[in-house]
């Protein structure tokens, strides 16, 4: 996780946060077809994280943001790509738990 921002308030008194995640793919630049391999791996990471909730409660499906070259001088013998995505998290207890407030149906006829 690289940072947290205010998320969309769900109206449940839970804290809504937008969590931004980063994954770096690092491979040896001397491998044959390294440029193609790293792009393929980055695309696969993007595919896996997009719309994935990791089976965690109160986590929205992942939303792929970007992927691209993440050159770093200290890793000049390697190719590095960065994949970024976000999840919306709702932390805390929902005000709308069934044992607290019972939902009602109200029918209105005009």
In a domain, 105, yes or no: no
The answer to whether position 108 is within a domain reads no
CATH at 24: 3.30.2000.10
| Residue at 96 is within a domain | no
The total domain count for the chain is 1
pLDDT tens for each residue of 3-32: 999 999 888 889 999 999 999 999 999 999
Residue 27 lies in a domain: yes
Stated pTM of the model: 0.81
Per-residue H/E/C for 54-74: CCCCCECCCEEEEEEECCCHH
**Residue 35 domain boundaries:** 3-91
9 within domain boundaries:
yes
Side-by-side strand order, sheet with 15-28: 3-6, 15-28, 78-91, 63-69
Domain-located, residue 42: yes
Kindly report, residue by residue over 31-64, the tens digit of the pLDDT: 999 999 999 999 999 999 999 999 999 999 999 9
């Amino acid at each position: 996780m690289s940072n947290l921002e205010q998320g969309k308030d769900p109206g449940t008194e839970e804290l809504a946060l937008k969590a931004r995640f980063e994954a770096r793919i690092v491979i040896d630049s001397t491998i044959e077809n390294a440029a193609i391999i790293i792009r393929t791996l980055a695309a696969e990471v993007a595919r896996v994280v997009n719309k994935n909730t990791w089976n965690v409660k109160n986590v929205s499906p992942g939303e792929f943001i970007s992927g691209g070259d993440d050159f770093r001088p200290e890793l000049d013998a390697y190719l590095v790509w960065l994949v970024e995505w976000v999840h919306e998290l709702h932390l805390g207890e929902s005000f709308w738990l069934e044992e607290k407030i019972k939902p009602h149906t109200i029918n209105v006829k005009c």
